[in-house]
Amino acid sequence: MNSAFIFPGQGSQSVGMGLSFYKNSSKAKDLLDHASEYCKLDFKYLLFEENENLNKSEFTQMAIVLNSLMAYEALKEQVNIEAKYSLGHSLGEFSALATQGAFNFLDVIALVNKRGQFMQEDCSKIEAGMMVVLGLEDRVVENLCQKALSEGKNIFAANYNCDGQIVVAGLKADLAFYESEFKNAGAKRAMLLNMSVASHCPLLKNASLKLIKELEPILKENFENVVSNVNAKAYNDKNQALALLSDQLVKPVLYKQSIKAIDSEVDFYIEFGANVLKGLNKKITQKETYALSKIEDIDEILKVIK
């Protein structure tokens, strides 16, 4: 049976995530301990205890990637399963790349710390944000974004999560102004998210340029198939990765398109570190998604692949 590995992005963090992997998997424990030493950061405190850093972008991104990789290590410790494809939602693409051999695990954890810093730097002076829009067709949201741009407002389609759910990014004031526009067009809901960055839109151009400079020296020349957020197609070498990841911060996440693109070639999905994408997948595919967010979840996965 063919599986696809999927990895969550920012917003999936919670206090205590990864604790069951740390306590019950020697590989997961070693990864967290080595990451703490490598990054000079107490990851046990960041992940397992109440603290204000967990919701700061540069630390959030490290915590989520580390947690996903700990879940991956815990599963691999019990069964040698490989993915036909691996993909992530936004930040999750970096976790996917690491598990497919594109990055050293410690390097990618340090990298996303800088990614978060660069994103925050671009958005700190412009009051950026994101809004989820429910119940509208893609083309309606896209047309409203174009209308906003023609009026001098910064609003962009950022995440295509599933049919009827798109996240838009831009300036908070512009998003708030357009809330009624989305609702008047028939949206069931248009709600500002608790985010201070505008991911996957042109407002992050400088962050994207800075990130590519950090990527170049640590990306491996070749790796196994990863499906790009940018074009929903698989790639597996450094040159492709540099081109696609340079666009990843400034173009929308094509998550639902990515799942649809590979769905006929896989039998089931495994989400590492959370159960956020499992919920989206239920609205995209009839294939089963197994969420590995705690050590006990491995038992259900083992029943499928043994």
Residue 92 has pLDDT above 90, yes or no: yes
196 assigned to active site: no
Does one domain contain both 152 and 250?
no
Q: Give the pLDDT score at 199.
A: 94
Per DSSP bridges, beta strands 85-88 and 234-237 are: unpaired
∠ CA(271), CA(272), CA(276), 5° rounding? 55
12 assigned to active site: no
Work out the pLDDT band at 55, boundaries 50, 70, 90: confident
pTM attached to this predicted model: 0.95
Last residue of a domain, one of 192, 225, 247: 192
In a domain, 137, yes or no: yes
Does one domain contain both 212 and 283?
yes
Residue 287 CA: distances (Å) to CA of 71, 84, 165, 235, 283: 21, 15, 20, 23, 10
In a domain, 89, yes or no: yes
Q: Give the pLDDT score at 194.
A: 82
Alpha helices in the chain (DSSP H): 19-24, 26-39, 43-48, 57-78, 92-99, 105-123, 138-150, 172-184, 205-215, 238-248, 255-262, 276-281, 298-305
Does one domain contain both 222 and 184?
no
Does one domain contain both 51 and 84?
yes
Does one domain contain both 146 and 168?
yes
> What's the number of domains the chain is made of?
2
Residue 304 has pLDDT above 90, yes or no: no
Calculated CA dihedral for residues 50, 56, 60, 61, nearest 10 degrees = -170
Work out the pLDDT band at 283, boundaries 50, 70, 90: very high
In a domain, 141, yes or no: yes
Last residue of a domain, one of 152, 174, 192: 192
* CATH number for the domain that contains residue 113: 3.40.366.10
- The mean pLDDT of 271-289, rounded to a whole number, is 97
Last residue of a domain, one of 192, 210, 230: 192
Does one domain contain both 170 and 215?
no
Q: Which of 68, 86, 90, 293 is catalytic?
A: 90
Does one domain contain both 105 and 140?
no
Which residue(s) pair with 41 in the sheet? Answer: none
Q: Which of 3, 68, 86, 200 is catalytic?
A: 200
Does one domain contain both 99 and 27?
yes
Q: Give the pLDDT score at 59.
A: 92
In a domain, 197, yes or no: no
Q: Give the pLDDT score at 143.
A: 98
* CATH number for the domain that contains residue 182: 3.30.70.250
Render pLDDT for 184-223 as a digit per residue (tens, 0 to 9).
999 999 999 988 889 999 999 999 999 999 999 999 999 9
Residue 273's domain spans which residues? 3-122+202-305
Q: Give the pLDDT score at 124.
A: 87
Given a contact cutoff of 8 angstroms between Cβ atoms, the answer to whether 115 and 109 are in contact is no
- The mean pLDDT of 128-155, rounded to a whole number, is 97
Does one domain contain both 100 and 18?
yes
Does one domain contain both 171 and 46?
no
Does one domain contain both 276 and 184?
no
In a domain, 10, yes or no: yes
Does one domain contain both 102 and 33?
yes
In a domain, 280, yes or no: yes
Tokens at 287, concatenated: 């294939």
In a domain, 266, yes or no: yes
In a domain, 164, yes or no: yes
Residue 62 has pLDDT above 80, yes or no: yes
- The mean pLDDT of 140-159, rounded to a whole number, is 98
